[in-house]
Structure 1
């Protein structure tokens, strides 16, 4: 169903791919937008339990697009170093495909806690718990990952 990477020598291991997803702090969500136009939006996320989680306002283009068609892709760029003498960049990136859905029940608390820990782990425990318990202004969305690949510059592959 999903295409194989054309330059498969640059395919990152699953372990390295997941490490990139865990260390990056933002990515770009791509969905089907209005009138047949793609809609891509940068956002903060957490990779937790093999899923991608992010929060969203309860109204707007992003949430409308997800409710209309839950098939999405999500991309992160971990490295992008310009090497001007070679007319290129040395890069490392990941792309995931999956279905987005609203998170509810027990999953909501644990996933939201993971999101809070990633971005506010240095805050007092009471403040973090209050944020987790009282956040009702937004949705928490999960992407159930169906396919994920990482790719890196051939120079990084050769250096291993």
Structure 2
């Protein structure tokens, strides 16, 4: 169902791709937008090993697109070092394909938003976390992406630096 990557030697292992998602702080969610136009939006996220969670407003372009079509892709760029003298960049990125849903159950929504809060504010106290969630709860929309397919890729130059790689 999903295309095989052409440059297989540059394919990241599933473990390395997951590490990219765990390290990243922002990615771009691509949806089927209005009038057949693609809609790509940068977002904060958290990956829990099997699902990716996002948050936003309860109304707008993103939510409308998700309600219309659950299929989406999400991309995170881990590294992009431009090397002008080589006319290239040393990159590492991951693309995830999956299905999105709006989290409606309050207990599920709370667990997901706590994961997001801990990722972006790990030093905050439990009380400060609770206050922030309580303050933003009413207008808060949480979206969950179930991962159907994930690939990571990195520049040949980065692959060569890995022990045991012959690229």
Q: TM-score, normalised by structure 1?
A: 0.96
Give the conservation status (yes or no) of the 8 Å contact 2:72–2:97: yes
Hey, what's the Cα distance between the residues in 1 that align with 2:28 and 2:69?
17
Q: Match of 2:59, SS? A: coil
Hey, what's the Cα distance between the residues in 1 that align with 2:45 and 2:67?
19
Give the conservation status (yes or no) of the 8 Å contact 1:48–1:111: no
Structure 2 unmatched ranges of 5 or more: 163-167
Hey, what's the Cα distance between the residues in 2 that align with 1:53 and 1:12?
22
Shift of 1:95: 0.2
1:16 alignment counterpart: 16
Structure 1 unmatched ranges of 5 or more: none
Shift of 1:102: 1.1
Q: TM-score, normalised by structure 2?
A: 0.92
Q: How many residues align?
A: 160
User: Does 1:92 find its partner at 2:96?
Assistant: no
Q: CA RMSD in A?
A: 1.1
Q: Residue deviations 1:8-64, cap 9 Å, x none? A: 100001111000000100000000011111000001111114111010111111110
Give the conservation status (yes or no) of the 8 Å contact 1:71–1:98: yes
Shift of 1:133: 4.3
Further displaced range: 127-136 or 77-86: 127-136
Hey, what's the Cα distance between the residues in 2 that align with 1:90 and 1:98?
27
1:5 alignment counterpart: 5
